[in-house]
Structure 1
């Protein structure tokens, strides 16, 4: 029986429904941005690390990925993701696996995926949230665990895409180089044009050559507080920006 805190929401930019629980971490704008950010090859096999209820996985399936696997260590969110997969009739191309991302070598061979995406916990210190604690704080896996898993599982010349806080940018760059993941594309995301960036999106290539493309900043809101054209495009609502 469903809990009173569970709800079925809509994913922007596609017709998919997603089951979530307000007592867990529900998807936000950063997941939508990350799902639209990386290059997706034809017949791509994709893995989402720390998938939660699977918003990024479902959005990547909507983009045309041939096979998507979402991995999380929380049984409840994995069950919710499986419910979403069934509700959208995606059983043939999307799956949710209950597993610790630090132990994925036991489940998958090295270089099994074309793209790996992750929205890792942002915080490794500071005040701890009471709701969705593990999703926001490094309790079950560190940022390095995500990089280590991605480096093992992504194909040579495959891609690893993440979203993170600006305060952890240097750490991400160091980990990328440590694990042979060459940063190739970067975008800073600002709430308003005159405000500091609050997150960044980065795509790395395993065994890639030097050469980083820095995209124009993604500005979420116009001066009047309405969504910017960029945000509406990410949300699949480009016609409203006209």
Structure 2
């Protein structure tokens, strides 16, 4: 079964709006796991506008499933990973002022750089995943870096899903198949929701993990967190 990792950044955004500790990010992470999530994802950014670096440190001893830290491997990020040693590090090339992740790595142009970063994180005992657009040349280049997995950036799929879902998923299906042929695990994330998740899952056999935050938290406002997590898990059942 494909694992569901819940990104709790938006919970931290809500907390930071008032400057106190409500909602409690640590308790929400515990509850997500209790409600069935198989992982917790955080994406700290340099301005700490949602998840703070201290949150990441505080979460490490509490997360009992898989802890996934996403981010651009700046010196501060590398030091954070060295201190926390999560199960997985997902490398995302976002600029400091980016509202959200908006592109995958150019693994051809940055191949040597990524190879060094991947090796450093793997020496810390972390699985490494590279955030990637569904382009076969980029998948091939990613495989040369030593990464364990790629995470397919699914915004284009989500945008095209309601117009022509077959066309929207085609490059992802091809990229995932190639990645698996090259020995890479495949994750996916960005703009996945209760409408489009099941079809993506059906079309990508062997999909290891999805990371979902914004849509899941929005759904939880109406449906409740426990019910929402269960609904997302149902999308990941092989039918």
> Which TM-score tier does this pair reach, normalised by the shorter chain?
0.3 to 0.5
TM-score (norm 2): 0.39
TM-score (norm 1): 0.39
Which is richer in strand? 1
Greater relative contact order (Cα < 8 A, sep 6+): 2
